[in-house]
Amino acid sequence: MSGTLAIIGGTGLTELPGLTIMKAHDEQTPFGAPSAPVLEGEMYGQRVLFIARHGHPHRIPPHLVNYRANLWALQKLYATDILAVNAVGGISRNMKAGTLVIPQQIIDYTFGREGTIYDGDYAPVSHIDFSYPYSDSMRELIARGASTAGEKVINGGVYGVTQGPRLETAAEIFRMENDGCDIVGMTGMPEASLARELKLNYASLSLVVNPAAGKSSGAITIRQIDENLSTGIVRVRKIIDAMVKDFYA
């Protein structure tokens, strides 16, 4: 593939072997400040961009993330392809904690988020085709990276995006399951649709860090989430390493 790969996720994703951070870009955008400076790194002689979705340190709740500024800043720095790393809850039976998922579809349950660049101010009102929200080429790149890294992933599934920052009720998860959702998270939208508006190839690698509400016998705890995130992010970094080599091959 040609272009520049950008990664959206937590700050821990920059802890990759062979990665050297070269510069931090404090970009100004028509939509305000991004969540954090865009980090420009070099990996295997190639340019890679990173942005911490929730800021650094982690401080911005999902409903207040400036998704428009984040995506606009990445595009301004010549990103062409976006890997979004998302921590999610598992709804479907096969979405156990620790599972890695490359979702294929989205159902958006969020509200009140600034979700378009076509707001009549920055750009005239327009409409995009969002039938298939994720880039096939990026989904294939993730799948190949996982295979190369020896990491099992579920390739497919529906990501239900909720408002947060609270977790969902068991009844809400039951409704989402009936709607066809396999995983639930709070950051998948409007990130994906903004990437489409900005003509960026975008896909998600989602890590299941907890069973969704009502899907386990006990309460969901932050300790449980943090433990699964800590273990899973090591596997995600292995996939990213393989993806970077493949992307710039």
Say which CATH number the domain at 111 has.
3.40.50.1580
Yes or no: say if 186 and 212 are a contact pair by the CB < 8 Å rule.
no
Note the pLDDT of residue 1: 61
The residue-averaged pLDDT of 1-26 equals 86
Q: Is the pLDDT of residue 14 over 90?
A: no
Note the pLDDT of residue 181: 98
Note the pLDDT of residue 208: 96
Q: Classify 82 as helix, strand or coil.
A: strand
Task: Give CA angle at 68 (175, 83), nearest 5°.
Answer: 70
Q: Is the pLDDT of residue 11 over 70?
A: no
| Token pair in block for residue 56 | 């650094």
Q: Is the pLDDT of residue 12 over 80?
A: no
List the domain range (segments joined by +) for residue 24: 5-247
Q: Is the pLDDT of residue 221 over 90?
A: no
| Token pair in block for residue 138 | 């990026």
Query: pLDDT tens, 141-196?
Result: 999 999 999 999 999 999 999 999 999 999 999 999 999 999 999 999 999 999 99
Query: pLDDT tens, 93-147?
Result: 999 999 999 999 999 999 999 999 999 988 899 999 999 999 999 999 999 999 9
Query: pLDDT tens, 20-43?
Result: 999 999 999 999 999 999 999 999
Task: Point out the annotated binding site.
Answer: 11, 53-54, 186-187, 210-212
| Token pair in block for residue 170 | 């068991």
Would the CA dihedral through 167, 54, 150, 227 be positive or negative? negative
What's phi and psi for 64, nearest 5 deg?
-110, 0
Q: Which residues contact 182 (CB under 8 A, 6 or more apart)?
A: 90, 91, 92, 95, 101, 103, 157, 158, 159
> Whole-angstrom Cα distance, residue 237 to residue 249?
18
Task: Give CA angle at 186 (180, 190), nearest 5°.
Answer: 90
Domain count across the chain? 1
Task: Point out the annotated binding site for phosphate.
Answer: 11, 53-54, 187
> Whole-angstrom Cα distance, residue 3 to residue 17?
22
Tell me the whole-structure pTM to 2 decimals. Answer: 0.94
Q: How confident is the model at residue 236 (pLDDT cuts 50, 70, 90)?
A: very high
Task: Point out the annotated binding site for substrate.
Answer: 186, 210-212
Q: Is the pLDDT of residue 217 over 90?
A: no
> Whole-angstrom Cα distance, residue 68 to residue 84?
14
